Chain A
Amino acid sequence: MKINQWILVLSGVILTVIHSLVFASPPISSPSAENPSLTFGPAKPDQQAAISVPSQSPAGAVEEPVEAIADPLEPVNRVFFQFNDKLYFWVLKPVATGYKAVFPEPVRVGVKNFFSNVTTPIRFVNCLLQGNFRGAGNETVRLMLNSTLGLAGFLDPAKKELKIEKQEEDFGQTLGVWGIGPLLYIEWPILGASSARDSVGYVGDLALDPRTYLIASVPANLGVRSYEEINDHSLTLGEYEDLKKAAVDPYVAKRDAFNQYRQNKIKERGKTPQPPASRREPQGFPSVQAGLQELTKDRSSFYSF
Chain B
Amino acid sequence: MDIARWILGLFLAVVMNTSALAENPKDQIKQTTDRILSILTDPSHRGAAKAEERRKLIRKAVDERFDWEEMAQRALGIHWSKRTPEEKKEFVRLFEDLLARAYMDKIEGYSGERIVYAGEIIDGDRARANVKIVTSRNREIPLEYRLLKKGSQWLVYDISIEGVSLVNNYRTQFNSIILKSGYEDLVKKLKEKRSLEEKKEAKS
Contacts and interface: CB of A to CB of B under 8 A. Distances in A.
Contacts of A218: none
B64 to A, nearest CB: 21
A62 B102 CA distance: 26
B179 A34 contact: yes
A260 B164 contact: yes
A180 interface: no
A160 to B, nearest CB: 8
Contacts of A248: 98, 170, 173-174, 177, 186, 189-190, 193
A249 B176 contact: yes
Contact of A294 (B121, B142, B177): B142
Contact of B162 (A34, A54, A295): A295
A294 B132 contact: yes
A51 B121 contact: no
Majority secondary structure, B binding face:
helix
A253 B160 CA distance: 14
Given A248-B189, A294-B132, A51 B162 contact: no
B126 interface: yes
Given A53-B77, A248-B98, A264-B162, A295 B171 contact: no
B165 A260 contact: yes
A64 B167 CA distance: 11
Contacts of B82: none
Interface in A252-305: 252-253, 255-257, 260-261, 263-265, 268, 286, 288, 291-292, 294-299
Contacts of B175: 33-34, 50-51
A46 interface: no
Interface string B143-167: 0101000000000000010111101
Most buried by A among B73, B105, B118: B118
Interface in A12-40: 32-34
A54 B74 contact: yes
Interface in A226-245: 242, 245
A56 to B, nearest CB: 9
Nearest to B167: A54
Contact of A246 (B98, B121, B140, B172): B98
A235 to B, nearest CB: 8
Given A55-B73, A260-B168, A295 B121 contact: no
Nearest to A50: B78
B130 to A, nearest CB: 5
A256 B173 contact: yes
B195 interface: no
Interface residues of B, number: 50
A246 B77 contact: no
B182 interface: no
Contacts of A298: 139-140
B119 A288 contact: yes
B203 interface: no
B164 A257 contact: yes
B162 A252 contact: no
B203 to A, nearest CB: 15
Interface in B76-112: 77-78, 98-99, 101-103, 105-106
A68 interface: yes
A101 interface: no
Contacts of B73: 55
Interface string B118-140: 11010110111010100001011
A291 B77 contact: no
5 contacts: A51-B171, A248-B173, A256-B172, A291-B130, A298-B140
Given A62-B127, A295-B144, 20 more contacts: A33-B175, A34-B176, A34-B179, A51-B172, A55-B73, A61-B123, A68-B172, A248-B98, A248-B170, A248-B177, A252-B172, A256-B164, A256-B173, A260-B163, A260-B164, A260-B168, A268-B163, A292-B130, A294-B118, A299-B162
Interface of A: 32-34, 50-51, 53-55, 60-64, 66, 68, 105-106, 109, 242, 245-249, 252-253, 255-257, 260-261, 263-265, 268, 286, 288, 291-292, 294-299
